[in-house]
Structure 1
Amino acid sequence: MKRIIALSSVAILSSGLYASTDTQTQIDELKKEIQKLKKDQKRTNMSLSSVKKATGGDNVKLDIDFRNTFESLEYKDNKNNIKAENDSLFTSRLFLNMAATPMKGLIFKGQLAIYSTWGAHIYDESTGLKDWSASSKPTDTVMRIKEAYFVYSNSIGSQPISFSIGRRPSTNGFLANYRENEDKPSSPLAHITNMEVNGAMVKLDWGRFIEGAYTKFVYGRAHTGATNGVYGYDGTGGITPYALDSSTNYGDDKDVDFFVVPGQAYYNGQYQIMYEWAHIFNTKGQRFNDPSTAKAAAGTADLFSVGLKIEGIGDEISDFLDETTFFISGAYTDYNAKSGYQLLGSSNGGSKNGSSIWTGIIIPDMITDSGKFGFEYNHGSKYWTPMTWAEDTTIGSKISVRGQAYEAYWNFDLFGVKYLPSQIRYTYIQHDYTPNNKCAGWVAPTDADITSKNIRLAITYKY
């Protein structure tokens, strides 16, 4: 358009002069070029109008999050004098993020993921991955849906309310985002929930009463119980896709549903208090004294967590303290087996409960413009069993440790480029009891002395 204006100005100025024949010819050519540019502009505008009409005036925004890591792993079973190690594990993780807002109050968000080890087999069925962990653990190069949900927000009178359904943003939640070098956390508290889930959510905002307060109510399904497959053959000639007839014994393979209530009690930009309660129906255990029935619907589980985060210590005491973040979180789990079953080694019914503390501090690195050093500590008791299927390290979930975990990391922008967030991280885990890598209610924890170490170098491209 600027070019059109410039050319028009030349033509107007030139037309007021007693020009020679050559000059007049040049003016005529300029006028023709102006007319052509105007036609091209009109066609472009018509094309854009057609696109906007077809998309309802909205577009899907795409973002890229591409991370590569080098890792060194070591495990030691000190009781049995067994050692395992891998001094060069390479992984690549690609997130393709999608977002759309077709109208005020309605948004869609999605995330497609590939998370693979270099040289991996394509679609390795031997891994036994479930849909709530497949894109959170490095395996193959198959693209999977990690997130896909919509949120509709409105008000009922003076009460703000939101409704959402789909595959929830439920990994790398509150407090876990720092160690993952993420600016913002996902929805739940990572201390008890760090796994991909499908569910429906209703959110009530209490901000008009308490600053930053809200509560979410989420109901979903983590496991679909016994049904016929896609073709529905029941072995007797009957065809009943995705269902079983009334004469079929479902046994102990029942649906595993959950009801989760995460919320924010207070947040003023500096002090943040978060909480969560989760109830699991038909959680997996085994029939009493019958190991062959592992993964049976053995009872229920309740998990609780409360966390405090402080962004900026004091009030403008120093730039260093202003940029320092401290957090502490406490959590509790209770697995309650029904009569005739056991969970975590309970005797013919009864419950087993565990607890955990997680604390950390993130400080400016004093080396780069925006880099941070982070230091974290975790402690878990013998029966501590959170839902952390999305392994937060390649040596297993340090959040779920039954023992102690120590971690240090440096988050920085490579070459000072904000699109290249990078990290150097070291994790040390001491398992005093059977490692809780699979949140397995059918495994009774026993005394152990197992250590694991992980050094990770990560470079990410985000745009």
Structure 2
Amino acid sequence: MRKTISALALAGLLALPAMGVAGGGGAANADLEKKIEELSRQLEELKAAMAAQAENVESLSDNLDEMDARSEEWDLAARFKLYGDYRARYDYYNADSVFGRSIENDSLLTNRFRLNMRVKATENVEFKGRMVMYKTWGNQSAFTSEGDPMYPVFDGNVTRTPIHDSAVYMDRAFVNWNNIAGIPMWFSIGRRPTTDGPPGQIRMGVDDRLATPMAFMDWPFDGLSLGYAWNWGAEAMGTSRMRFCYGRGFEAGLLDDVGSTIDDMDFAGLSWDIMKKGDRFAYIQSFMAFNLINYPNFQDPIVNSAFGEMSGMGERMNLGNVLHTSAVYMDKIAGFNYFISGGWSQSQPDASGMFNDPFSMAGPNTSDEDGYSIYLGIRYDLDEAGLKFGAEWNYGSEYWLAMSPGHDDIYQSKLATRGNVFELYTIWDLPTGEAISKYAQTFIRLGYQHYEYDYFGSGNWNLAPYDLSDSADLAKLQMMGQDPVESADQVYLTFEAFF
């Protein structure tokens, strides 16, 4: 277009002399000169406009290139899904020991913040992680040395116990490779999702499954799993999935053959979702804990040394294996949730023995000991008022072992109890307005727990489970300087927000 205008202008200029001669008048020449000047001015304006337009087109092209680059970054950022929860919790705890002591904490206050992450690397490879900060208000430790019925912090409870500062620990970090070979099979490796398993979500008020294993296995550990899923083909049966799981509970480290040596403590077993259809869920798990140690590797080296000496367990050693099997069935009818579950444990000690009685003339106890537990619960949901009311009971026998150092009961794991635990609770879904996040939940949870211990050493496989109602066993406990808790009451109140 620019060339066409220039040619017309040139032709006009060449024609001007002829036009002036033909006209024969000065006035006509003057008028033509004005027109030529006006045409030249318009031509220059047109050239300037065309140049400006060319600059705009070039700038727009640059902006489009930049937007393309940014959109790629936005797509990369959109792969990351972040969500989490915060909990403020108040606990009142009162316990009575066998020989008359009263242990009390009238107000233990804690903060817990958890941040979850999900991100896909490829279509079938996904990372999942969770970081946790869990701290007691106004203290450098949640527990003192004066009669606290609690192990110090170690790998199996580090993100599940209020710690001495506001440090953030990695609670879960694992990668899933899904749809292997185009079939419903997957491989997963990393820090495992092994805490708050079913049916724990019922009393925690979240209703979504929070972990792979059942609540009797409440132990954060590092490991892997290989699984396969299928559909039963019958409407009532829904779906099913089976997993082989392996994990490490204790790393022995670098050893030599001069002094005493210990082996790594490992877990291995099967986890089977028998059926999942809506709220109906049936599950069974069976695993072996190999080369159990008498006590774990605590974070504080001073505690490591003192624990062995003061407890009488001495040097760290392996004690044998434990076979563990548990199952749960849960469902919901209208607003009525219920579950029934149970567990069986069998200790298989080596020459070092388990459940040892130092007063026995026969030496370490190398007999296999069987224990069992029953766990029942109900919850009624009054949706119109945003209220839920629940009750639970569990019982553990003399030799019952729960692998639950990662429990969420602050002081003692209720599911590890050798005796009875009763719990009542209510949950109020707060009227906080429209949800902004699909993960959003805000509620208050108020609960009461009553512990009645029949035997000494709940959760402990080292010393014999002395009968707390037997005078001879009580005399042994006194001679060992032990004054175990016989009964305890705990009240808790939480404010929880998921976002």
From 323, 327, 352, the counterpart of 1:302: 323
For the 8 Å contact 2:87–2:112, the answer to whether it is kept is yes
Consecutive unaligned residues of structure 2, counting only runs of 5 or more, are: 1-52, 146-150, 296-310, 358-363, 434-439, 469-484
Distance in 2 separating the partners of 1:163 and 1:250: 37
Distance in 1 separating the partners of 2:114 and 2:267: 27
Question: 3-state DSSP class of the match of 2:195?
Answer: coil
2:451 maps to 1:441: no
For the 8 Å contact 1:364–1:373, the answer to whether it is kept is yes
Q: Which has the larger radius of gyration?
A: 2
From 46, 51, 60, the counterpart of 2:80: 60
- 1:97-122 per-position Cα deviation (integer Å, ceiling 9, x unaligned): 11112332221110000111001228
Shifted more, 294-303 versus 257-266: the winner is 294-303
From 256, 261, 264, the counterpart of 1:255: 264
2:93 maps to 1:73: yes
1:332 matched to which residue of 2?
344
2:228 matched to which residue of 1?
204
Distance in 2 separating the partners of 1:40 and 1:68: 51
Distance in 1 separating the partners of 2:173 and 2:464: 36
- 1:253-289 per-position Cα deviation (integer Å, ceiling 9, x unaligned): 3210110311111122243210000101101349xxx
1:351 matched to which residue of 2?
368
1:166 Cα offset (Å): 0.3
Distance in 1 separating the partners of 2:270 and 2:176: 17
Instruction: Return the structure number with greater helix share.
Output: 2
2:237 maps to 1:220: no
Q: Tell me which amino acid in the other structure corresponds to 1:169.
A: P
1:69 Cα offset (Å): 0.9
Distance in 2 separating the partners of 1:264 and 1:72: 37
1:428 matched to which residue of 2?
450
Distance in 2 separating the partners of 1:92 and 1:365: 29
From 100, 103, 109, the counterpart of 1:84: 103
Shifted more, 115-124 versus 382-391: the winner is 115-124
Q: Structure 1 223/429 Cα, relative in aligned 2: closer, same or farther at 3 Å?
A: same
Distance in 2 separating the partners of 1:123 and 1:454: 16
1:284 matched to which residue of 2?
293
Q: Tell me which amino acid in the other structure corresponds to 1:363.
A: Y
Instruction: Return the structure number with greater strand share.
Output: 1
For the 8 Å contact 2:347–2:370, the answer to whether it is kept is yes
Question: 3-state DSSP class of the match of 2:399?
Answer: coil
Question: 3-state DSSP class of the match of 1:427?
Answer: strand
- 1:63-110 per-position Cα deviation (integer Å, ceiling 9, x unaligned): 121110111111111x31110111111100000111112332221110
1:423 Cα offset (Å): 0.8
Q: Equivalences for 1:259-270 in 2 at 5 Å?
A: 259-270=268-279
Distance in 2 separating the partners of 1:423 and 1:292: 40
1:59 Cα offset (Å): 2.5
Distance in 1 separating the partners of 2:397 and 2:238: 34
Distance in 1 separating the partners of 2:206 and 2:161: 18
From 139, 148, 156, the counterpart of 2:173: 148
1:416 Cα offset (Å): 4.5
Consecutive unaligned residues of structure 1, counting only runs of 5 or more, are: 1-31, 228-242, 313-321
Distance in 2 separating the partners of 1:179 and 1:86: 23
For the 8 Å contact 1:263–1:274, the answer to whether it is kept is yes
For the 8 Å contact 2:136–2:142, the answer to whether it is kept is no
Q: Tell me which amino acid in the other structure corresponds to 1:271.
A: R
1:27 matched to which residue of 2?
none
Question: 3-state DSSP class of the match of 2:368?
Answer: strand
For the 8 Å contact 2:195–2:407, the answer to whether it is kept is no
For the 8 Å contact 1:188–1:276, the answer to whether it is kept is no
Q: TM (normalized to structure 2)?
A: 0.73
Q: Structure 1 156/46 Cα, relative in aligned 2: closer, same or farther at 3 Å?
A: closer
Distance in 2 separating the partners of 1:444 and 1:283: 16
Distance in 1 separating the partners of 2:60 and 2:391: 61
Q: Tell me which amino acid in the other structure corresponds to 1:149.
A: F
From 392, 395, 398, the counterpart of 2:408: 392
Identity of aligned residues (%): 24
1:441 Cα offset (Å): 1.4
Q: Tell me which amino acid in the other structure corresponds to 1:364.
A: D
- 1:371-421 per-position Cα deviation (integer Å, ceiling 9, x unaligned): 311110101101111100012211311111111111111122223455422
Q: Tell me which amino acid in the other structure corresponds to 2:288.
A: H
Question: 3-state DSSP class of the match of 2:385?
Answer: coil
Shifted more, 140-149 versus 118-127: the winner is 118-127
Distance in 2 separating the partners of 1:278 and 1:326: 26
- 1:152-206 per-position Cα deviation (integer Å, ceiling 9, x unaligned): 111447x521100000111000101122222312333434201111101101113
1:186 matched to which residue of 2?
210
Distance in 2 separating the partners of 1:199 and 1:407: 33
Q: Supply the RMSD in Å over aligned alpha carbons.
A: 3.0
1:130 Cα offset (Å): 1.2
Question: 3-state DSSP class of the match of 2:431?
Answer: helix
Aligned pair count?
394
- 1:286-310 per-position Cα deviation (integer Å, ceiling 9, x unaligned): 9xxx954465211100110111101
Q: Structure 1 102/222 Cα, relative in aligned 2: closer, same or farther at 3 Å?
A: same
Distance in 2 separating the partners of 1:220 and 1:190: 16
For the 8 Å contact 2:89–2:111, the answer to whether it is kept is yes
Q: TM (normalized to structure 1)?
A: 0.78
Q: Tell me which amino acid in the other structure corresponds to 2:111.
A: S
Question: 3-state DSSP class of the match of 2:129?
Answer: strand
Q: Tell me which amino acid in the other structure corresponds to 2:277.
A: N
For the 8 Å contact 1:395–1:454, the answer to whether it is kept is no
2:48 maps to 1:48: no
For the 8 Å contact 1:191–1:329, the answer to whether it is kept is no
For the 8 Å contact 2:399–2:465, the answer to whether it is kept is yes
1:345 Cα offset (Å): 2.7
